Amino acid sequence: MGVSGGPGIRPRALGEDPLPGEWTPGGPPRVWLLHLAGLRPGGFTDEGPEAGGLRGDGLGAGVPASGALLDDGPRPDAVPGEEVPYGDLRPGAAGLPDDGPQAARSPLDAALRDHARILDPAERDRAAAFVRDLHRNRYIASHVGLRLLLGAYLATDPAAVVLVREPCPGCGGPHGRPAAAGAPLHFNLSHAGDLALFAFADTPVGADVEQLQPAEVVDEVARVLHPDETAELAALPAALRPEAFARCWTRKEAYLKGTGTGLSENPSVTYVGAGPAPASPAGWTLTDVTAPPGYAAAVAVANARGPHLP
């Protein structure tokens, strides 16, 4: 179980569950989690059952930073609102050989081995810019995972998906929500620690996953939240605040990423709640996502007939 208190979305596990079929409109958002520990761009490592393969609950790991998907990457000094990339399912973890012509290959494993072809030039340049191998590997894994899912939903080669940016709702610049050119669906990506979260929907969608923060971070950052959220956190016993803060922050980031504004909107403006159930802003539906212990996650989807911007 994750830290979210109310009923939420139980995501599918990329690398464990079958890839989706072609996108069909209607229904709730499609949400996926990917665990990336032990993953390498050349394929999955074989470091034993605890090396980072998908856990028994089928949940997994990490992605880019607030409000962004295509250009944001992990930072070793990340704080709430900043995300750090992740991923994995290893044939070796199931006792299967990792190499050789008869080795079992999952679609994710095969895509990782083909990452240089699948990623576009901008993604390859971004990956090459990382100083640490861990961050580079997580970035590659998260973007390969995104393209693998988009390719399945769009019934096309993942390398053929053209990723673009929508106009910023604030200034009109080309740094708004990420999008797949000409696609009938919207998507969003987030990552933190060893988790990557992917969300897809018929209308604009935002997703966020965060690790629980130390008490001192919670106390400091809680002051920038909506006054009612700050009061809700202050009323809780100290031991419960990190979980409540995490679910509040993921709801807020998911919503702000969905609108395309990101943290250019002050976190104190929109109320999403720190309690067991999220408070959805007008025109949006906020839902907590079931996450592994130590993490919180949420998805925000624009209502079909409601306003898509605050």
Q: Are 191 and 62 in contact (CB under 8 A)?
A: yes
- Return the closest-CA partner of residue 197 out of 4, 3, 13, 5: 13
Give the angle 182-142-176 at the CA atoms, nearest 5°: 45
Q: Is 29 exposed, middle or buried (0-12, 13-18, 19+ CB in 10 A)?
A: buried
Query: Using CA atoms, how far apart are residues 249 and 267, in angstroms rounded to an integer?
Result: 9
In the sheet with 295-302, reading across from the earlier edge strand, the strands are 205-211, 295-302, 284-289
Would the pLDDT of 98 be above 90? Answer: no
* 54 vs 269 pLDDT, higher one: 269
Average pLDDT, the chain: 78
| Helix or strand (DSSP H, E) at 35 | strand 30-35
Give the whole-number percent of the chain exceeding pLDDT 90.
Answer: 61
- Which pLDDT does position 193 carry in this prediction? 86
- Which pLDDT does position 7 carry in this prediction? 59
Q: What's the helix, strand, coil split of the chain in %, to 5?
A: 30, 20, 50
Contacts of 102 (CB under 8 A, 6+ apart): none
- Return the closest-CA partner of residue 20 out of 128, 145, 124: 145
pLDDT tens, position by position, 55-96: 222 222 222 222 233 333 333 333 333 333 323 222 222 222
How many angstroms separate the Cα of 167 from the Cα of each of 82, 172, 173, 201, 218? 22, 5, 5, 19, 33
- Which pLDDT does position 11 carry in this prediction? 96
DSSP classification of residue 169: T
pLDDT tens, position by position, 265-301: 889 999 999 999 999 999 999 999 999 999 999 999 9
For residue 168, the SS3 value is: coil
pLDDT tens, position by position, 157-197: 999 999 998 877 767 666 778 899 999 999 999 999 888 99
Would the pLDDT of 307 be above 80? Answer: no
Q: Give the confidence band of 201 by pLDDT, cuts at 50, 70, 90.
A: very high
Would the pLDDT of 310 be above 50? Answer: no
Would the pLDDT of 44 be above 80? Answer: no
